[in-house]
Amino acid sequence: MARSKGSWDTVREGIPTLYPRLWRLCLVLSGTPDRAADLAQAVCLRALERHHQFQPGTALDSWVFRIAQRMWLNEVRSDAVRKGSGLAPVEEIDLVDPRPDPESNLFSREVLSKVMSLPEAQRVAVLLVYGEGYSYREASMILDIPIGTVMSRLAAARAKLADGIKPQEDSGL
């Protein structure tokens, strides 16, 4: 019988690949690159400590993201809010748009700036559903909230984003 990888190996080997996405989530949660790096590192260590709770064969990214969300809400957020350092401007983040032309890079900065100015709960829902491509159900499980709350957060985000981030092509509506 071929042996399957245990939870330690799966988590240990999966984290480096996952790390940029984890850092991005931590950035969207915490609002600044420094806090994102601290939070992401703490999440990695917590995930390794709790590797036995991970079931190989299930999605590692959602499991790690769930840890990040809980650590931010329960352990880190209050401290960050107390220190009152607020959100970092998007200009301070070394953003590189995968598309080659400078115009699209500028547009991406504008888009990101609008998204990052949303309230925390809304911008995280936007990242998970529109950035990561999770379904509403998957996002609700990561955030530990009902699907209806994901819907209402996305609706509120859309109402605020729709002014500047309209589709360029006719959607048929």
Partner 1 sequence: MTPRPEFGDDVLTAYLDDEASDRDRAEIDAARRLDPTLDDRLRRLEIDRAAIGAAFDGLLNAAPAAPDLPSIPKRGFVADLVDRRAVAAALIGGILTAGGLFGASRFLAPPSGNWQDQAVAYHALYVTQTLTDVQTSPVDTEVQLRRVSDALGKEIPASSITGLAGLSFKRAQVLGFEGRPLIQIAFLADQGAPVALCIYPSGQSGVDMGVSGDWAMAMATVEWARAGFQYLLVGGRDQEHLRRVAQELSATL
Check binding of 55 to partner 1 (CB under 8 A).
yes
Check binding of 167 to partner 1 (CB under 8 A).
yes
> Taken in order 49, 54, 60, 66, is the CA torsion positive or negative?
negative
Residues 122 and 157: beta-carbon distance below 8 Å: yes
Find the farthest-apart pair of alpha carbons in the chain and give their distance in angstroms, rounded.
Answer: 58
CB of 66 to partner 1, least distance (A): 14
CA distance from start to end of the chain: 55
Residues 3-42, mask of contacts with partner 1 (x by CB under 8 A): xx-xxx---x--xx--xxx-xx--x-----x---x---x-
Pairwise CA distance, residues 163 & 173, whole Å? 16
Residues 108-147, mask of contacts with partner 1 (x by CB under 8 A): xx-xx--x----------xx-xxxxx-xx-----------
Q: How many binding residues for partner 1 (CB under 8 A)?
A: 67
